[in-house]
Amino acid sequence: MSVLRVLLAFVLSVFSLSLGFNSAAFADGKFVALGTSSTRGVYYPVGQGICSLINKNRDDHLIRCLTYPTGGSIYNIQALRSGELDVAITRADLAFMAANGQGVFKAAGPMPGLRIIASLYDNPVGIVVRADSDIQTLDDVLGSRINIGNLGSGKRDFSDLLFKVMDWRKDDFESVGELSTSKMGKAFCADEVDVLIQAMGIPAKFYDNMINNCGGRFIAMSDEVVAKLKEAAPFLEATVIPGGMYASNDVDVQTIGTKAVLVTVDRVKSNTVAEVAAALFADITAFQDKHVALKSAAVNSMVNEGIYVPFHQGAVQYFTKNAIEYRQMDGNK
């Protein structure tokens, strides 16, 4: 049993009386450990919202969901593989790469048991610089103090891709930090970092703080850079950070992005995943209300966009029962 599972078992044993939870929960699929990201990111509050929707009907289905902060998108997939997590939020492109043993997952090999439950929201990349700096384009960031994100995070994966596409080397910069979301935010506000690379749903409290309180602004990617990134990573899509969303940017900021998706593995019981799906789709308005990043969520997009790995059989059962037409992938039954 992993360290995380041991900790979870202890926590649940302490609260077993109030939760009506018993020691057979792990084996019976009655417990869902949901992996997110830093508490300063969007994955975490979205994960909390999903768990709250699941737990709302726990007296009926007896399933308990707990949300856990993690290292981010890549870590979450690795934790699903190892069994530390049951469900997690990650990026759609990373889910595809993990399933097929590509990119950062090449050494670990294919993960054929990876399954999707739903696509959640758009996840654009934001490049934040100091508002009073001379940095206007990506070409201007050379020589600056840049943070590329912690290992295991989606922002780090994108940073590595951006470095490759731009033909940057670490010695092209005054310094290259590998801080997590919370730590890099503090460093930016303390004027210890000039450039941040982040990937999260918008609007986000992290960006609110960087832009409104710490003197930051977004810079756009050129058409050429967007084209190169899409060529290098076909699952990325051109998108924008809308003008007016943040005070320092009056016009749309062109960037690249992908979908944030909720994934699991085929070992998780179908009835458990069906209840997770029900929590998302049974009342789409309640789901949208859990976080501002989910406001544009719609059933059709959640089952057809950003779907690059097969749906879990439990999700398929829910869709079939409720006449929801979903994107067919090899592996769906």
Q: How many CA atoms lie within 13 A of 130 on its CB side?
A: 16
Written as one string, the DSSP assignment of 63-112 is -EEEEE--S-HHHHHHHHHHTS-SEEEEEHHHHHHHHHT-GGGTTT---T
Q: How far apart are CA 212 and CA 234, in angstroms?
A: 33
Each residue of 51-83: b (16+ CB within 10 Å) or e? Answer: bebbbeebeebbbbbbbbbbbbbbbbbbbbbee
Q: How far apart are CA 175 and CA 214, in angstroms?
A: 20
pTM for the predicted model, two decimal places: 0.80
- Computed over its alpha carbons, how large is the radius of gyration of the chain? 20
- Side chain identity at residue 10, one-letter code: F
The pLDDT assigned to 25 comes to: 44
Share of the chain above pLDDT 90, in %: 79
The pLDDT assigned to 24 comes to: 41
Planar angle of CA 152, 155, 156, nearest 5 degrees:
50
Q: Domains plus CATH for the chain?
A: 3-120+260-321 (3.40.190.10), 124-258 (3.40.190.10)
The pLDDT assigned to 154 comes to: 84
Q: Which residues of the chain have pLDDT under 70?
A: 1-29, 330-333
Residue 199 forms beta bridges with which residues?
125
The pLDDT assigned to 203 comes to: 86
64, 58 contact by CB (below 8 A): yes
Q: How far apart are CA 275 and CA 252, in angstroms?
A: 39
Cα pseudo-dihedral 37, 42, 45, 48, rounded to 10: -60
The pLDDT assigned to 41 comes to: 86
243, 220 contact by CB (below 8 A): no
Nearest of 30, 49, 18 to residue 289 by alpha carbon: 49
